[in-house]
Structure 1
């Protein structure tokens, strides 16, 4: 059976480490420019070199996003940047603009090129066009149904990639002008302010200050807000349709999000690869995905509904757990040095999570400084010693239930 790739986001070096540790086959990340997440941590050239070494050591492929739309005046800088990137020998560049594609082909003709969802590829003829231009993989438009994907698979032999989890956009394949119009920050150049998530009220021109409700709750109306995508329960039909790579959205999300979501899809995909006929969606996977910060989940356009994405869900994020610390080192008995991400204290219930859905709950009995001093609580960025379950390893994360 052909191996299906699990592709995870890596918004900064810490998230990259978690994506690898929790089971990604490949990661995608951004450099200092020309990607569509300019507010992510991103990677300068030295960090890209380090990321390349880390990925190579673990057999993980590394894709760099170059999927923004450059303007004419940026071309000399982009050309110089591509020349600097060439020695890094990254596995692929993710592009959307035909000019960027042509420039990569000119300056670095051996580099593998993946086409971004931003290019809005929605039919097999378009896939064949991009293949003729030198693209080796297409990330399909998010607006496609299963039947659409099957038809594209039947009409091309190119690798196909599809999003399976994360935030969705109210605009067609992310081509939105709302952020640029309201804030001057262009979504198509990587600086989206996400005004689709803001609360709006209707005001009639001749009645200033009189606000009218449109299915409004006490917090306002969310006219453009989209739900979050979750396709873990639908993996068999998506894979049967011919998808080669499953992509998780979230370079702007937390390290905990990257770890928790990647490990669920890793387990689900491994279970399908091992026994496609006997595969079933484990309720634990759904429970775990509810523990990361998310908006109400939806299956997107996969089943060709009339309004699968633009149904205005509430904008408030939901989550069941707080990320409190990362394990830096641990001995076989579970004595571990951890670095705090949020405040936690003695007597709290804490859960350790690791790859392969390993998780165990305990009540913290003692917190010690690196010098052995006893503490009642630890804070963000503190390094402290804890007694955790045997088998805890460096890279594991600690979380606790959200109060109330």
Structure 2
């Protein structure tokens, strides 16, 4: 395989951004304090955005900033200056859904590359051609299109195609949702404040037929009829590559560091293995095992091959599941004395069976037999958040490895 394909990871804050790069992302996408669709994420102020650009570029990677709200007039205040600032710090592109923002960026910050957000609902080749003519360099296709349709769209116009391959799915058309607007007084989903009302528990009844409920199966948890499963297209990497997709995108700016790093590593290994093996490639069991360890809903292939049926929804509950907890971060390894410098992320103790997910190396299993505090005093438990610990282990560990432990209910 000769054509490169980009792995694009989410970055809700600086910590997640750096871990995404360290765990194999070719590019990251993030948002500033305004104009992005994830107001619930920490996001980046202007100085942090500058620092993020410098870090990413120092590693030879790319960074895209989302400006993908559907704005009302009052939302445009300060936008011109913000776009010019993004141009001045040399972000690699901005992701835009609204035609007005698109046109303003072309006028006031012509050096910015323009990527068309999935919020713009690009579902056909004519729209792809339109965005190419307007000056966009990339289109993020709607999640409602199949891989077959993506191939047609890619062939119709000389423009990059980005497609989601993993993460949360929206019940509405590529995120164009009004549930949050109606059920809350201030949270506009299309201006970055979605309350995820689709994850709530519902019963449906027609007003003229009181007591006659929507005929679906219901258990003791309730009925979550709008609650989509999470997208996972790991096994479709070959088809996406052959369809001409230029960038494979992971959803998750509001997810944890553990999620971002783990999913990025899995897809990095899967992509690199495919580019090496070609037709001999297959999905490794350990990749799917890793994707079960992070917080997620059950997986679906969405619209990738065919229109999803009723099995694409998660009717039983809205909460996520995971098999492992992230409990510590490796900050270095002392080879002479055989211990890892750890930062505590969750309570752990002597006797715990743990594993280390490394940025590049293999998974390492270990039973904790000895650890000390940062002063060298032996301890049996690390109970304090971000506590510095020396954990004795013979196997050298890469810096930024994540220490994990099976969840208690596993």
Q: Under TM normalisation by the shorter chain, which class is it? A: over 0.9
Distance 1:175 1:353 in 2: 37
Tell me which residue corresponds to 2:324.
Answer: 321
Instruction: Tell me, yes or no, if structure 1 residue 332 matches structure 2 residue 329.
Output: no
Partner of 2:268, secondary structure, is helix
In structure 2, runs of 5+ residues without a counterpart are none
Tell me which residue corresponds to 2:134.
Answer: 133
Cα offset for 1:203? 6.2
Partner of 2:75, secondary structure, is helix
Tell me which residue corresponds to 1:279.
Answer: 281
Closer/same/farther in 2, CA of residues 213 and 122 from structure 1, 3 Å limit:
closer
Tell me which residue corresponds to 1:261.
Answer: 263
Closer/same/farther in 2, CA of residues 9 and 278 from structure 1, 3 Å limit:
same
Tell me which residue corresponds to 1:189.
Answer: 191
Distance 2:210 2:99 in 1: 46
* Cα contact 1:170–1:309 (8 A) shared by 2: no
Distance 2:176 2:23 in 1: 32
In structure 1, runs of 5+ residues without a counterpart are none
Tell me which residue corresponds to 1:243.
Answer: 245
Correspondence for 1:342 among 331, 346, 352: 346
* Cα contact 1:31–1:43 (8 A) shared by 2: yes
Tell me which residue corresponds to 1:365.
Answer: 369
Of stretches 370-379 and 262-271 in structure 1, the one that deviates more from structure 2 is 370-379
Distance 1:309 1:135 in 2: 36
* Cα contact 1:26–1:60 (8 A) shared by 2: yes
Partner of 2:64, secondary structure, is strand
Distance 1:162 1:287 in 2: 23
* Cα contact 1:179–1:194 (8 A) shared by 2: yes
Closer/same/farther in 2, CA of residues 369 and 176 from structure 1, 3 Å limit:
same
Tell me which residue corresponds to 2:390.
Answer: 385
Of stretches 364-373 and 10-19 in structure 1, the one that deviates more from structure 2 is 364-373
Distance 2:352 2:220 in 1: 33
Partner of 1:247, secondary structure, is strand
Cα offset for 1:277? 1.8
Cα offset for 1:367? 2.5
**Residues 107-133 of structure 1: per-residue CA shift (max 9 Å, x gap):** 111211111100000111101111111
Distance 2:42 2:354 in 1: 28
Closer/same/farther in 2, CA of residues 391 and 199 from structure 1, 3 Å limit:
same
Of stretches 20-29 and 358-367 in structure 1, the one that deviates more from structure 2 is 358-367
Distance 2:124 2:199 in 1: 30
Cα offset for 1:64? 0.4
Cα offset for 1:6? 0.3
Tell me which residue corresponds to 2:298.
Answer: 296
Cα offset for 1:293? 1.0
Distance 1:206 1:343 in 2: 54
Cα offset for 1:76? 3.3
Distance 1:130 1:66 in 2: 16
Distance 1:126 1:36 in 2: 22
Closer/same/farther in 2, CA of residues 346 and 358 from structure 1, 3 Å limit:
same
Tell me which residue corresponds to 2:202.
Answer: 200
Give the alignment's TM-score, normalised by structure 1: 0.95
Give the alignment's TM-score, normalised by structure 2: 0.94
Tell me which residue corresponds to 2:116.
Answer: 115
Of stretches 123-132 and 382-391 in structure 1, the one that deviates more from structure 2 is 382-391
Distance 1:288 1:213 in 2: 37
Distance 1:95 1:389 in 2: 49
Closer/same/farther in 2, CA of residues 280 and 5 from structure 1, 3 Å limit:
same
Number of matched pairs: 404
Cα offset for 1:312? 3.8
Closer/same/farther in 2, CA of residues 330 and 306 from structure 1, 3 Å limit:
closer
Distance 1:306 1:142 in 2: 12
